[in-house]
C-alpha cells in the first residue's frame, strides 16, 4: 500500500518520538493522519472539516435545524442546560462558548476550579459568562464523580424536586487523557485512560440520566484512534499480575476510545429498550493541537502541529456543537460522527452482533460496583 506523503512524514516523526513502543506510535500517527470519512453529507448544511463551532450554530439556526430543547426554551424563562466535561481546555472551551451563545446554561466541569474560572474570564466574552457555572469534577476519581453529580442536582436541577420532566438537556462527555508513556492509575487503581475516558464518563452519565429531559442528548467524544483499539476483557486495566498484556500508551488510548464508541451505542440501545427518546451518539473531533498532547516530548509538538493535526481548536469543536445542537431527526441513535456528518466506525466499533457493547457495559458496571459505588437500578 502506498502512503501519501503526509503519512510517511507522520510515520517517520512517530518513530523518532520513542515514548514506549515505537511500532505502536507509528500505527497511531498513521491512523490519525487518515481519519474516517463521513458516509453522509451534513444534511445539506454545507458543514465539513474546516467548519468552526460558530459556523455550525449559525448554519443550524439559519436552516431552522436547532434541537427542540434549544428552540423551545429560547421562548421560555428557563434556559436549556448543558453539562460539559473538560470544558476548560482544548475543544472544550469553544464548545462551552458556542453552547452558551445558543442560549444554554452551561455547567463547565473541570478538575481545577480556579484554573477553569480563569479560562472563563480570559476566553469567554463577558456577555456569556453569566450563562456558565464551573463545577469541580475529577473523572479519575469515582468519589469526585459522585460528589459532582450531587452538586449538579442541587444547584442546576432544583435538588431533583422539579415537577418538569428532567432538567438537563445535553451531556457532552468531552474530557480525556491521551497516551501517557507509563501506566498511570486513577484513584481507584484503574488504568488512567480507560478509567477516565470511559469508566468515569459511564458513571457520570448513569448518575445524571434520571435528570435528563426526555428529548435530551448524550454526546461522547471518541476518536479515530478507536480503529486500533482492542478490548481485552481479561485485563482491561493492563494489570501485569493478571496477564502478560504489557502497557502501551497508544494501545491503551485506542482501547479507551473504542470503549467510547461502544458505550454510546450500548447506552442508546438501553434507552430505546426503556422507551426513552434520549439519543446517544459519539464523534471524532479531528486531530487538533490541544493539551491532549502534553505527554509527548515538547520538541516534537511544533512538528506534530505542522504534520499531524488537521484543524484548529475552533474547528475541532464543530462536531461537538453539531451533535449537541442539531435537531433530533438527524440521528436514529448510536451514530458515530465525523466532520458534522454520520460516518462509519471500525468493524469493532460497529459491533454488528452487539456482543462487545453488552460485555463492556457489564464489565464497567461491575468495576464501579466493585469499588463501592452505586448506580441506579434502571438506566432511565
Which positions are catalytic?
247
- By residue count, the chain amounts to 380
> Quick one: CA torsion of 340, 63, 269, 174, rounded to 10 degrees?
50
Long-range contacts of 296-303 (CB under 8 A, 24+ apart): 296/17, 296/19, 296/179, 297/17, 297/19, 300/13, 300/16, 300/17, 303/13
96: which 3 cell numbers? 462551552
Place of cell 457520570: 204
Closest CA to 253 of 295, 218, 289: 295
Which cell numbers hold the place of 278? Answer: 434520549
Indicate the SS3 state at residue 136. Answer: strand
C-beta separation of 267 from 42 below 8 A: no
Q: Give the C-alpha separation, 302 to 296, whole Å.
A: 11
User: Can you tell me the distance from the alpha carbon of 212 to that of 82, in angstroms, rounded to the nearest whole number?
Assistant: 10
CA 93 to each of CA 85, 123, 169, 269, 366: distance values in angstroms, whole numbers, following the listed order: 10, 8, 19, 30, 33
Measuring CA to CA, how many Å separate 136 from each of 110, 112, 244?
Answer: 5, 7, 37
- CA–chain centroid gap for 306, Å, is 24
Amino acid at each position: 500500500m502506498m502512503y501519501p506523503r503526509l503519512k510517511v512524514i507522520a510515520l517517520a516523526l512517530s518513530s523518532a518520538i520513542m515514548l514506549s513502543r515505537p511500532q505502536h506510535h507509528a500505527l497511531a500517527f498513521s491512523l490519525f493522519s487518515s481519519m474516517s470519512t463521513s458516509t453522509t453529507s451534513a444534511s445539506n448544511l454545507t458543514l465539513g472539516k474546516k467548519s468552526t463551532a460558530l459556523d455550525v450554530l449559525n448554519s443550524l439556526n439559519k436552516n431552522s435545524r436547532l434541537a427542540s430543547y434549544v428552540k423551545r426554551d429560547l421562548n421560555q424563562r428557563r434556559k436549556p442546560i448543558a453539562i460539559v466535561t473538560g470544558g476548560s481546555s482544548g475543544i472544550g472551551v469553544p464548545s462551552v462558548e458556542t453552547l452558551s451563545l445558543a442560549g444554554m446554561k452551561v455547567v463547565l466541569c473541570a478538575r481545577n476550579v480556579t484554573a477553569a474560572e480563569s479560562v472563563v474570564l480570559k476566553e469567554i466574552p463577558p456577555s456569556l459568562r453569566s450563562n456558565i457555572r464551573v463545577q469541580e469534577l475529577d473523572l479519575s476519581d469515582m468519589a469526585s464523580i459522585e460528589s459532582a453529580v450531587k452538586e449538579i442536582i442541587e444547584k442546576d436541577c432544583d435538588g431533583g424536586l422539579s415537577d418538569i420532566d428532567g432538567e438537563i438537556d445535553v451531556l457532552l462527555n468531552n474530557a480525556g487523557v491521551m497516551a501517557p508513556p507509563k501506566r498511570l492509575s486513577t484513584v481507584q487503581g484503574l488504568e488512567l485512560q480507560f478509567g477516565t475516558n470511559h469508566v468515569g464518563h459511564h458513571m457520570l452519565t448513569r448518575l445524571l440520566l434520571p435528570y435528563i429531559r426526555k428529548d435530551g442528548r448524550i454526546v461522547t467524544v471518541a476518536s479515530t484512534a478507536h480503529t486500533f483499539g482492542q478490548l481485552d476483557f481479561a485485563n482491561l486495566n493492563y494489570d501485569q499480575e493478571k496477564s502478560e498484556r504489557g502497557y502501551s500508551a497508544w494501545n491503551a488510548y485506542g482501547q479507551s476510545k473504542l470503549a467510547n464508541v461502544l458505550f454510546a451505542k450500548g447506552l442508546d440501545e438501553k434507552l430505546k429498550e426503556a422507551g426513552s427518546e434520549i439519543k446517544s451518539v459519539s464523534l471524532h473531533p479531528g486531530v487538533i493541537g490541544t493539551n491532549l498532547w502534553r505527554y509527548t516530548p515538547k520538541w516534537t509538538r511544533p512538528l506534530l502541529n505542522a504534520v499531524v493535526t488537521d484543524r484548529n481548536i475552533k474547528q475541532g469543536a464543530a462536531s461537538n456543537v453539531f451533535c449537541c445542537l442539531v435537531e433530533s431527526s438527524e440521528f436514529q441513535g448510536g451514530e458515530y460522527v465525523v466532520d458534522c456528518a454520520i460516518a462509519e466506525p471500525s468493524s469493532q466499533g460497529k459491533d454488528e452482533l452487539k456482543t462487545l457493547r453488552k460485555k463492556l457495559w457489564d464489565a464497567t458496571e461491575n468495576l464501579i460496583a466493585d469499588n463501592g459505588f452505586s448506580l441506579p437500578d434502571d438506566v432511565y
